[in-house]
Structure 1
């Protein structure tokens, strides 16, 4: 799969699900201003991906938010199994801490098989964090804080997302080209 296909597929997911379904009410503003950095990882193993994460963290904090507000580090093939990816996230969080960026940058994650604890694999609520590929999302804490302050009742976003997906259903998700 070429980088162009990975990027196009990721943009489709961002535009149709994340922004189109308003799963993240903060995403549209930075996306339309081209402040979202999309990076396709070529890492062959987890150690290489950690090195890429190192570089992306350095770049994000060294670049003004007006240029890069957030980064999606996309890996199309390395973590096919969600549980392996989930285990990797603990190590990735450690990289953020090693950089002294706790409270400055946070990681969010997306995966094609994302599953919340206590849910069934096909539970529609899992789709709030499903993406076409394994993705590490690097977010600036100050940007998140500003967005939360501007959004009334930000703590209800998760529940609203589940309600949106329950209304949409699996067939609606597929109809968006997001299977």
Structure 2
């Protein structure tokens, strides 16, 4: 995926073309259409600052009506570009959710340009189900996740379908999603 110097625009493009366009998340289209996705560009340059921003966004999401903001994406291009460091940070993020007494209320999902599932090869197309143009923390409301799962009772089916979609698309097809076609 080609990242530009505008991480929010890149993230919107990824949401539109991959997440919604390939239906990788069957729940994303509705919240995007209702303009209920908050996108935050973090200027954090270290984990402590990012953790502070994460805490503020968790509290903001908790205190904001779901009809106004249902989910938040924190795009943080200047910190945790190494996937293993990012992955380690997720434990800290989950600990913060617990510290703020938000377990069962909010959760943090993860997307990264170098996302790699355990025991997979870095180029395994399945990894691309969680690859975003920039390191991104996705804050979700547990109630929204529960409602979505009720509407789609077998979440494992989503994962299997996504892997099948990406296997059919292949790496060249994935890359083509983000190439802008010149007009004319």
The two structures have a TM-score, normalised by structure 1, of 0.95
**How far 1:152 moved relative to its partner?**
4.7
Task: Determine the structure 2 residue equivalent to 1:113.
Answer: 114
Task: Determine the structure 1 residue equivalent to 2:177.
Answer: 176
**How far 1:154 moved relative to its partner?**
3.0
Q: Which range is displaced more, 116-125 or 148-157?
A: 148-157
* Whole-Å separation in 1 of the counterparts to 2:153 and 2:169: 24
Task: Determine the structure 1 residue equivalent to 2:85.
Answer: 84
CA contact (8 A) 2:44 2:78 kept: no
**How far 1:74 moved relative to its partner?**
0.6
CA contact (8 A) 2:75 2:134 kept: yes
* Whole-Å separation in 1 of the counterparts to 2:49 and 2:30: 32
**How far 1:4 moved relative to its partner?**
8.0
Task: Determine the structure 2 residue equivalent to 1:128.
Answer: 129
Say which SS state the counterpart of residue 169 (structure 1) adopts.
helix
CA contact (8 A) 2:110 2:130 kept: yes
Tell me the C-alpha RMSD between the 2 structures. Answer: 1.4
**How far 1:150 moved relative to its partner?**
1.4
* Whole-Å separation in 1 of the counterparts to 2:151 and 2:11: 27
Q: Which has the higher contact order (CA 8 A, sep 6+)?
A: 2
**How far 1:148 moved relative to its partner?**
1.2
Q: Deviations over 1:116-136 (max 9, x none)?
A: 001000000000000001100
| 1:61 is the counterpart of 2:62 | yes
The two structures have a TM-score, normalised by structure 2, of 0.93
Task: Determine the structure 2 residue equivalent to 1:12.
Answer: 13
* Whole-Å separation in 2 of the counterparts to 1:165 and 1:66: 32
Say which SS state the counterpart of residue 6 (structure 2) adopts.
helix
Unaligned ranges ≥5, structure 1: none
**How far 1:177 moved relative to its partner?**
1.0
Unaligned ranges ≥5, structure 2: 180-184
CA contact (8 A) 1:77 1:133 kept: no
Q: Deviations over 1:96-141 (max 9, x none)?
A: 0001011110110000000000100000000000000110000000
Could you list the structure 1 runs, at least 4 aligned residues long, displaced by more than 6 angstroms after superposition: none
Q: What number of residue pairs does the alignment pair up?
A: 176
**How far 1:153 moved relative to its partner?**
3.0
